[in-house]
Amino acid sequence: MKIISGIWLALAVFTQAGGLEFAETLKEIDAGADASIVTTEFHFTNKGDKPASITKSDPGCSCLKVEISGGKLKYAPGESGVVRTTFEMGNFSGTVDKMVALWIDDDAADKPSTRLTVRVHIPVLVGLEPKTVKWELGAKADPQIIRIQMAEGAPIHVTGVTSSSDSFACELKTVEEGKKYDLIVTPRTLDAPGMSVIRIETDCAVSRHRTQQAFAVMRKSSQTTAKP
Angstrom distance (rounded) from CA 143 to CA 183: 10
pTM: 0.73
Does the pLDDT at position 228 exceed 50? no
Over residues 93-151, the pLDDT tens digits come to: 899 999 999 999 989 999 999 999 999 999 999 999 999 999 999 888 999 999 999 99
Give the pLDDT mean for 39-52: 95
pLDDT at residue 54 is higher than 60: yes
Cα 58 → chain centroid: 16
Find the CATH number of the domain harbouring 71.
2.60.40.10
122 Rama class: left (phi>0) / alpha (psi -120 to 50) / beta: beta
- Quickly state the pLDDT bin for 223 (edges 50, 70, 90): low
Mean confidence (pLDDT) of the chain: 89
CA dist., res. 36 & res. 19, Å (int): 35
Q: Are residues 40 and 56 in the same domain?
A: yes
Query: In terms of domains, do 28 and 111 share one?
Result: yes
Measured CA to CA, the distance from residue 65 to residue 84 in angstroms comes to 8
Which among 90, 122, 154 is the end of a domain? 122
The answer to whether residues 109 and 161 belong to one domain is no
Shared domain check, 132 and 118: no
CA distance linking residue 56 with residue 36, whole number of Å: 27
Last residue of a domain, which of 122, 141, 164? 122
Q: Are residues 35 and 98 in the same domain?
A: yes
Residue 90 is assigned to a structural domain of this protein? yes
Final residue in a domain of this structure, among 64, 88, 122: 122
Left, alpha or beta for 94 (phi > 0: left; psi -120 to 50: alpha)? left
Boundaries of domain holding 153: 126-219
Q: Tell whether 227 is covered by a domain.
A: no
